[in-house]
Amino acid sequence: MPKYSCYDNRELSWLKFNHRVLEEANDERVPLCEQLSFLSIFQSNLDEFYMVRVGSLFDLPPDTKENKTYMTSKEQLSAIFKESRILLHEKDMIYSKLCKDLKKHGVEIVDFHSISEAEANFLERYFKAEIEPLLSPQIVGKKQPFPFLQNKAIYAVVLLEKKGSEKLGIVPCTSTVIPELIPLPGNTHRFILSEELILHFMPDVFSHHTIKSKTLIRIIRSADIDTEEDKMGEEEDYRKAMEKLIRKRSRLQPVKMEFSRLMDPAVISRLCEYLNLDESQVFHSEAPLKLSFIFKVRDMLRHNKSLFFKRRVPQKPADIDMRSSVMKQIEEKDRLLSFPYESIKPFLKLLREASTNPEVVSIKMTLYRVATNSKVVEALIEAAENGKDVVVLVELRARFDEENNIEWSRRLEDAGCRIIYGLDKMKVHSKLCLITKKKEGEISYITQIGTGNYNEKTSEIYTDFSIMTANDEIGQEANRVFNALCLGQTVTETKHLLVAPNCLQNKLLDMMDMEIEKAKEGKPAYIGIKVNSLTDKKLIKKLIEASSFGVKTEMIIRGISCLVAGIPGETENITIRSIVGRFLEHHRVYIFGTGENEKVYISSADFMTRNTLKRVEIGIPVMDKGIRNRITDMFRLMMQDNVKARIQQPDGTYRHAIAYGKEINAQEQLYEDAYANSVKE
C-alpha cells in the first residue's frame, strides 16, 4: 500500500467538497430541477471560493507556505487552477446532459443553430426593439480606455477590424432591465439567453467594422477586503468605515476570467493584459457563464412535482406546546430544536414573550446573519419599545452580509436598542441569546445557544441545533460573556461553556487527552465530531495522537478536512465522512466518551483556527439526558447514511458509502421522524 500523508491542503480539500456538490447535479436519483439547483450551487460556491480564498492567496508573497502540506501560495494557486479546469469541464458535460433532460419536459434553451427562420426573424425584431436601445457599446482606444468590468457581470467582447487595424469592442450584457431568458414565439417553453442574443447581433451593433471573432466573458474579482480597525481612521464611525470598505470590494483585482467562445489567443492575451491576469487564470466554458436563470426554469416546471424533492415543512416539536408559554416550558426543563426538521417558531415565540413579559428586564443577543425580513429583529425592536434593555451585538464583518447587517443595526438603534459591533480584530460568530428576569428581587436567566444563525429562512434549509435552558449556572456564564463583549473583552475562564478564543480549543484538547488516557488503560475511548470544516493543526495533531493510541474517532465533516483518515499506524482509528444532500449540513457536535461518562456539546465553532482562536464562538454542554440521547442518536444515524454520505479514503479522495442492505438517507429519515413525532393540534 502506498504511503500517504495525514494532511491535505485546505484549498484542494475545499475543491473536493465542491466536487461532491457537483456529483449531486449528476445523480439521477436526484429530481431533475434539484439537479439543476446543485449545478447552480456549484457555480456560486466556486465564485465565492475565488473571491475569498484565491483572492487571499494572491495577497500573500508567492513563497509563503501553509502549515500542513507546506505548499507555497504559488503552488496552491497552480494546483487550484489545474483542478478548476477539470471541475469546469465536468460541469459543462453535466449541463449539456441536463439540457437534454429538460427538453423531454418541454423546456429548451436554444441557440441560433437550432431555431427556425421564423424564430430568427422574431429575435431580430425583438433585439432591434427591446434590447439594442439599452446597450452601451464601447470600442477600446486612446480616447476610450478599457472599461471597468463589474464582478460576475457578463460582457460581449468582439475583435473588430477596420482599414487594416484591429480593436476590441465591449458591450455589457448584464442588466436589470433585460430579462435573462428571451421566450421564442409560440406556446412552448423555448428560450434563448439574452447574452447569446446580444452576442449574435454584434455585427449590427458595430456595423462600421468587420467582426473577426466574438465571445462572452465574465470576471471574478477578489473580495478579500481588510476589515481590521487599525486600518481605519481613529475618529471614523465604524459603521461608515465598513460601508466604505464594502464599496471598495467591488473594485478589487480580478482573479479569474471565463469565456464562452474560442478566440484568437492574441485577444485573450490582450484581455489578460488589460485585467492584469495571467493566462492560467482564464477558463473556457461551454455552459452559460451565469446559471441564475435556472431558478426561472424551475418555476416553469413547478406543476410537475416529480421533478422536485418531496415537499417538507418544519414540524412543531414534540416536547413544546405552542399553546402554552414557551418560557415556562423551558423553566421546567431544557428544550431542543432541530432544524430544518422542527420549526424555529418556538424560539420566535420565546422572544415575543420576553418582549412583553413584565418580569423580563433585558434581552442580549449576538447577530451574525439574519433573514431579509427578520422576525427575530422585529421581536427585539418590540422589546426595546416596551422598555426592555435590549443589547445586540451586530457583527458588521459577516462576509457578504455586511450591508444587510449595517441596515439592521440602524433600525435596531433607532428603536432604542444598544448596539455593539464586536471586538477589535476578532469576529463574534457565537449564536447566543440571554433573557434576564427579575421577580421579587431574584434574578433568573433563560439562555439559548445554537449552532446556526438567527435566520428564519436558513432554518428551513440548514441542519442546526438550538438549546434553550433555564440553568442558572449557564445563564451566569452567558451573562459574563456578554459583559466582556460590552467591554471589548473576552472571557478567560469558564466552568461549563466552551468560549473561544480562550476557553474552547484548550478544553477540547483536554477532553481528547482524557480519551487518550482511557485508551492507554484499556478502557473504552471514543471521540465523535460533526463540523463543517477541520483545519486547526493543534486539534488535528491531537486526533492523530488519539488514533495512534486506539481511540475510536468518528467524524462527519461536510466540507474541508485537512486531516486524512484511515492511514495505517497513524489515522487508522479515524473515520471521516461527508454528507452532501438536500439540506446543508451545518450543526456542530462534539462527543467525548461512552456510556455514563459521555460528554456532548453543541457549538457554533468549526475546527478551524479562525474559529477556535480568532473568533468569539460558544458551545454548551448538553445536560439533559433526553436531549443528549436525541443528539447522539441523530449522530449515529448520520454515520449509517449510505445514500448521501461519502467516506474519505487514505489517499484523500471520497467515495460514496456502499448500501449493503437497507438504504439510509439520514436527512429524509430525520424528516420522517419529525412528522411522526410532531404535535397534532
**For residue 557, what are the CA distances in angstroms to 267, 511, 584, 639?**
43, 20, 12, 11
Say if residues 351 and 378 touch (Cβ distance below 8 Å). Answer: no
Strand partners, 193: 181
303 has catalytic annotation:
no
HSE on the CB side for 618, CA within 13 Å? 32
SS3 assignment, position 4: coil
Q: What are the grid coordinates assigned to 385, written together?
A: 419599545
Eight-state DSSP code of residue 181: E
- Report the distance separating Cα 101 and Cα 307, nearest Å: 11
The C-alpha cell at 450 is: 445554537
Angle at 256 between CA 204 and CA 93, to 5 degrees: 75
| First-to-final CA distance of the chain | 60
φ/ψ of 584, rounded to 5, equals: -80, 115
Q: Exposed, middle or buried: residue 109 (CB in 10 Å: 0-12, 13-18, 19+)?
A: buried
Choice among 189, 200, 209, 429 that is catalytic: 429
Q: Kindly give, in sequence order, each residue whose CB lies less than 8 Å from that of residue 121, ignoring residues fewer than 6 positions away.
A: none
Q: Is 222 helix (H, G, I), strand (E, B) or coil?
A: coil
Measured CA distances, 553 to 482, 497, 549 (Å) = 34, 23, 11
b/e string for 157-184 if b means 16 or more Cβ within 10 A?
bbbbeeeeeeebbbbbbbbeebebbbeb
Cβ 624 vs Cβ 600: under 8 Å = no
Distance CA 150, CA 147 (A): 9
The span from the CA of 459 to the CA of 453, in Å, is 8
- Residues annotated catalytic, as ranges: 429
